[in-house]
Each structure stands twice: as C-alpha cells, then as structure tokens.
Amino acid sequence: MAKILFYVNFIHKPGGAGRLEAYLVKAISQLGYECVLIASARPHKINEQIMKESKNIKLYIISKSDASPHKVDISSYLQSLVMRYKISELVFREKPDVIISSGGIPKQLANVARSIKSKVLVYYHMVAPWYVEVRGFYRKYKWSDLSILYFGFSIALSKALSADFSPLEYVDGVIVNSRYMAYIAKRYWNIMPYVLQPPIEIRNFVSLPRENRLPQLVSVGRLDPDKHYEDIIKAVGKSDILRKNAKIVLLGFMGDPRYLLNILKLAKRYDVKVVIETNATEERKCDVLSSSMVFINSSRHEHFGINVVEAMASGTPVIVHRSGGPYYDIIDRGTYGLSYSTIEELQRNIEMLIEDTNMWNKYSHLSIVRARYYDFDLFKQKLANILDRVI
C-alpha cells in the first residue's frame, strides 16, 4: 500500500478550501492509500463529517500561526520555521511515497522530500501571481508611508522560503482548482498544471420545482468586501418589481463586521428586504438553496466557487459575475448559467428568471446537468489518474 503524506492549511476552517482538503483525504482513503495527515488544528466539524468514514488515516497536529506566503509578518515566519522543522522530522520518520501540500509548499519541505526520493504535488487553491495581481496588498498597505518597506520585505521573504513563485523547480507536479487558475499559472509560470476542481456529493442536494420555491434570491459566502453583495442589493433596489416582491438571503461566516453594517445600511437606503444568517448549518444551507428562485455569485475573480455548484445541484438557476472560476469553469462562459458585469445587467437577469417560467426551467435543468460534472466520484477518479502518473 503506497503512503501519501498530506500537508493541509485550511482543514480546520469552514470555507471551501477546508472542505476541498477534507474531500482529498476521503478520496485518498477510498482509493486505498495510507494517508498521513499533518494539520495545524483539528478539522472543522463540517470537514470531520466529510471524512467520518475514511480509513487508514494518521493525523498529526502541529500548531502554527498563519504561515501563508501571502500573509506575512516576521513573528509568523519565525514560528513557521520551527513548525517546518517538526514537519521535516515527520517526513523522515514516515517516508511517504508521495507528499501533497495544500495551498502552497515551503522550499524546506520540498527539499526534504527530494532527499528521501518522495514525489511531491502541490495543490493551489489560488496561485501566488493571482493573489498579488487580483487581490494583492493594495487594501492593507499605503504607498505613501513606510509600510511599503514591509510590503517589499514580505514579498522577498515569501520568495526566499516558499516554492510558490517557481514551483516546478522543487516539485513533481502542480494541481490547481480551476481552468481559470490554470490559465494564470500558464501565463506566469509557463506550465500546464493538472486541474482538479473541488467536488460536491450530488446525493446531498434536492431540487424543488419552481412552484414550491419562495420569491427569494440567495448568495452564500464569507461576509466581507471581496464578495460584493452590494451588487445584489443595488440590482434589486433599482427594480420596483423586485424590491416589492423579492427577498435577499445571505448565508455566510462572519468576515468583516464593518462590511456587514454597510450592507444593512445599503439595504435600508434602497428599501430592500435582506436576511443575513451567519454560521448556518449545512442542512439549513441546502434547504435555502433548494427553496430559492435564483442564486447569485457577485465575487470578482473568484478562484473557483463551490457554492455555485451546490446551488446548481439544487436545481437553482445561477447568475455569476463575468470573471474567475464561476464564469470560466462552472457556467462555461454562459453555457450553463447567466452572467453580468454591470448592475443593470444583473437586474435584467434576475427579472427574467423571476418572471419567465420557461427561462427559469431552462436554466434550472442546465444547472442540474452541470452539477453532475463535479460529483465526488468523478473527482476521486481524476485524483486517481493524477496519482497514477506521479507514482
């Protein structure tokens, strides 16, 4: 039995990256590999539920601060150096056939793997060039003060300690979570990585007919400015029909409390009905997705967007911003869903789906067809093909 050491960074968190790591553990187990899992904390309860039937899993918990190469400070890197030495000791002890590192990889870990002839794969939820180009440091740093020195130090330290700016010098294969990320990897690194998109389990979702649904629009995701929920409020607020008849439901974990207050103020100004539920259970989320008329993803340049797939598995027509993984991967540039780039375009798309039964039925059917492409069984087979090539 081949042994895979899986180094994770997000499994203790409730978001999409943590769930993807949990599904990777589950797939590795079901494919018959022995799995050594290294995490900084116990898996989140949602992710524990995903992995509950996994076998041949050995878990090591090594506490650390946030050592991501994209969120850098001196203390976190000093602590991460200690953590990486502990991981190196585990790698020598376990001698895995393959190491998979999620979210990036330290050069030290890649070099240790090479010394014991382990193959190395790194799975990127977002590649470093995307983070710098699209999200970057522009919110955190002001170019007019000394923080620019800290910005430069952060980038230099990241390049010194991380393989994430030239991965193929250190690893045997790069995996990304979308064709959109593969495009950025090709543009910056001149490589064609494996694409392994996050899965769902189709059987967990139920599609209700249109007549059994409520006149509500739903969006799911962390409550912070990156999600641009103000687009939805403005689109509804500018339409007399939608403002009177539709309700917006936002489900997500708390991100920026100030942003939440701004959203509520904006909803009051536009006289729009908004319900916000933080920390909704998986069961509650599935109920809302299957009982809503439309799902909207308003994030810009989202690296993938698993909540869009979950909505589609619920038979709910989707509207996404014309950028990133939701547009290029999930709805395949308009084949399986609608998209927008302006508030007016979003407003027209919502009105069409609310008012036109035939259009709603068309996109509901397309949603279900597309969601099947992301079922866990297909994900597991794609992972098996990648591992076969590497091993």
* Residues 296-323: tens digit of each pLDDT: 999 999 999 999 999 999 999 999 999 9
Length of the chain: 391
Is the CB of residue 314 less than 8 Å from the CB of residue 308? no
Is the CB of residue 377 less than 8 Å from the CB of residue 164? no
3-state secondary structure of 371: helix
- Nearby residues of 127 by Cβ (< 8 Å), 6 or more positions away: 164, 176, 181, 184, 185, 188, 189
List, for residues 10-56, the tens digit of each pLDDT value.
Answer: 999 988 899 999 999 999 999 999 999 999 889 999 999 999 988 88
Question: 154 or 338: whose pLDDT is higher?
Answer: 338
Q: For residue 107, how many C-alpha atoms fall within 13 Å in the half-sphere facing its CB? A: 12
- Which pTM value belongs to this model? 0.90
Q: What is the mean pLDDT of the chain?
A: 89
Find tokens 């439901």 and name the residue: 249
Is the CB of residue 322 less than 8 Å from the CB of residue 352? no
Closest CA to 351 of 289, 273, 269, 294: 294
Q: What is the structure's pLDDT at 325?
A: 96
Structure tokens belonging to residue 245: 């008849």
Closest CA to 70 of 142, 144, 118, 129: 129
Q: What is the structure's pLDDT at 206?
A: 95
Instruction: Work out the average pLDDT over 200-206.
Output: 96
Domains defined for the chain, CATH in brackets: 3-199+375-390 (3.40.50.2000), 202-373 (3.40.50.2000)
CA distance readout (Å), 219 to 97, 169, 357: 41, 40, 21
